[in-house]
């Protein structure tokens, strides 16, 4: 493990140096936890399995048990240290790739963690690990998602069972946008900046800002997801999360409206004006804007690095991740318009996307999509696998 290089572009340090850096970062959080000794030991051991074959978290759990016992910790503390090592990626991966409103998401984390004390330690270890990795691994956005997940899991561990999500009543702004969309027969949108960073975090210089909330109300029609994703890609807006649902209109208002509640951030520079986004979205929906062609032109303009071959995309189904929807996860090389291509493929497969959770580290994108059939039920196993295979073929083509 000494001087062992990391096979991930977001890591600044070799494995041994990263472990030391994580322990240093963790020392800043010793006032946040009740057992700082366990936090520091887990920080020093969390990636120790990278010198062994297989999943480094699984291998590291075995090594951590032995090391903690030899140090002199009792059986309970040995178990806690091993759990921290085994699940040191659990919070950030779950928070950025899963629907936190889904009870199955929260329950799975609660079952893995087991206690409030371990959750407290894991939260601190997660932040220390990310900060010691490099600037791309932690941000206000990631921190806010992890904090939200920790709060929900803590409630479950305290005995509060998570309720099944219900369609929330539309806010006044959402209702206004929906009525205007019905009246005009075209999409209506608004942009609202996120101004409050999580407690203790500075917004300046953040490589992954919280971004803005993008609300879009559009008369229900095919192709909404790829159209919106394509327009945002054209304007160089990065999508953090995306939620789509049908909106119940007030009495006396006829029509069917889709509400899209997305969190986006500009790759660089300032955000485009809402009127410009709306104009391009109207053209995308009526077919007069060739999004695929525009994105292909931009992609062709980028110079190609010789000798660099990215691993092929991989699409998988996670049946246990939700009982309300089918979770399809895409791992791919990040590229302009990736979400547009995925959205178009899912649209062609006649599935409905309830929400999307987008995570990018370096050149790698891991995007999770909660999809259902036309009637709103999860996809049967064979159908889900078929959709995943077709999506993978599309991305590889």
- Closest to 209 in 3D by CA, of 222, 219, 225, 198: 198
Q: Which CATH superfamily is domain 309-397 in?
A: ACT domain (3.30.70.260)
DSSP letter at 268 equals S
Alpha carbon 207 to chain centroid, angstroms: 16
DSSP 165: P
- Identify the residue whose tokens are 């036309």: 374
pLDDT at 74: 96
Same fold, 15-157 and 309-397: no
* CATH fold for domain 169-301: Alpha-Beta Plaits (3.30.70)
Is the four-CA dihedral 292, 297, 300, 301 of positive or negative sign?
A: negative
- The confidence score (pLDDT) of residue 203 equals 47
pLDDT digits (tens, 9 = 90+) for 337-382: 899 999 999 999 999 998 888 888 777 889 999 999 988 899 999 9
Instruction: Give, as one character, the DSSP assignment of residue 164.
Output: P
Which class is 15-157 in CATH?
Answer: mainly alpha
Would you tell me the crossing angle of helices 291-301 and 224-234 to the nearest 10 degrees?
40
Q: pLDDT tens digit string along 271-325?
A: 888 899 999 999 999 999 999 999 888 878 777 666 567 789 999 999 989 999 9
Q: Where are the alpha helices (DSSP H) in the chain?
A: 15-27, 36-45, 56-71, 75-86, 90-97, 103-113, 116-133, 140-157, 172-184, 224-234, 274-286, 291-301, 338-348, 381-396
**For the chain, which residues make up each domain, given as ranges?**
15-157, 169-301, 309-397
Whole-number Å distance between alpha carbons of 135 and 254:
49
Distances (CA, A) of 147 to 63, 154, 333, 382: 29, 10, 28, 36
pTM of the model: 0.82
């Amino acid at each position: 493990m000494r001087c062992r290089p990391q096979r991930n572009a977001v890591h600044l340090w070799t494995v041994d140096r990263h472990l030391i850096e994580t322990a240093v970062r963790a020392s800043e959080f010793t006032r946040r936890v009740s057992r700082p000794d366990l936090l520091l030991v887990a920080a020093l051991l969390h990636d120790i399995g990278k010198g062994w074959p297989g999943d480094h978290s699984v291998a590291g759990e075995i090594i951590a048990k032995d090391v903690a016992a030899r140090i002199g910790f009792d059986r309970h503390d040995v178990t806690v240290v091993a759990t921290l090592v085994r699940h040191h990626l659990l919070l950030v991966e779950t928070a950025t790739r899963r629907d936190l409103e889904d009870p199955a998401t929260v329950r799975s984390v609660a079952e893995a963690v087991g206690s409030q004390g371990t959750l407290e330690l894991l939260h601190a270890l997660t932040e220390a690990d990310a900060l010691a990795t490099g600037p791309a691994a932690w941000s206000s956005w990631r921190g806010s998602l992890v904090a939200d997940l920790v709060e929900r899991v803590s409630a479950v561990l305290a005995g509060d069972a998570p309720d099944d999500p219900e369609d929330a009543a539309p806010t006044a702004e959402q209702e206004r946008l929906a009525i205007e969309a019905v009246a005009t027969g075209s999409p209506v949108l608004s942009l609202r900046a996120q101004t409050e960073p999580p407690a203790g975090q500075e917004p300046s210089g953040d490589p992954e800002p919280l971004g803005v909330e993008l609300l879009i109300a559009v008369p229900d029609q095919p192709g909404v997801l790829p159209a919106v994703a394509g327009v945002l890609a054209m304007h160089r807006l990065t999508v953090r999360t995306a939620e789509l649902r049908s909106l119940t209109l007030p009495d006396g208002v006829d029509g069917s409206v889709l509400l899209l509640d997305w969190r986006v951030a500009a790759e660089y520079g300032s955000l485009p004006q809402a009127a410009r986004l709306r104009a391009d979205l109207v053209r995308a929906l009526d077919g007069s804007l060739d999004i695929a062609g525009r994105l292909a032109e931009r992609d062709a303009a980028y110079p190609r690095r010789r000798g660099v071959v990215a691993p092929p995309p991989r699409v998988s189904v996670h049946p246990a991740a939700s009982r309300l929807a089918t979770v399809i996860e895409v791992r791919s090389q990040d590229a302009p318009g990736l979400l547009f291509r995925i959205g178009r493929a899912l649209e062609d497969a006649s599935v409905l996307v309830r929400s999307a959770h987008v995570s990018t580290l370096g050149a790698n994108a891991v995007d999770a999509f909660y999809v259902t059939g036309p009637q709103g039920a999860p996809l049967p196993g064979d159908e889900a696998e078929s959709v995943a295979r077709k999506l993978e073929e599309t991305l590889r083509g």
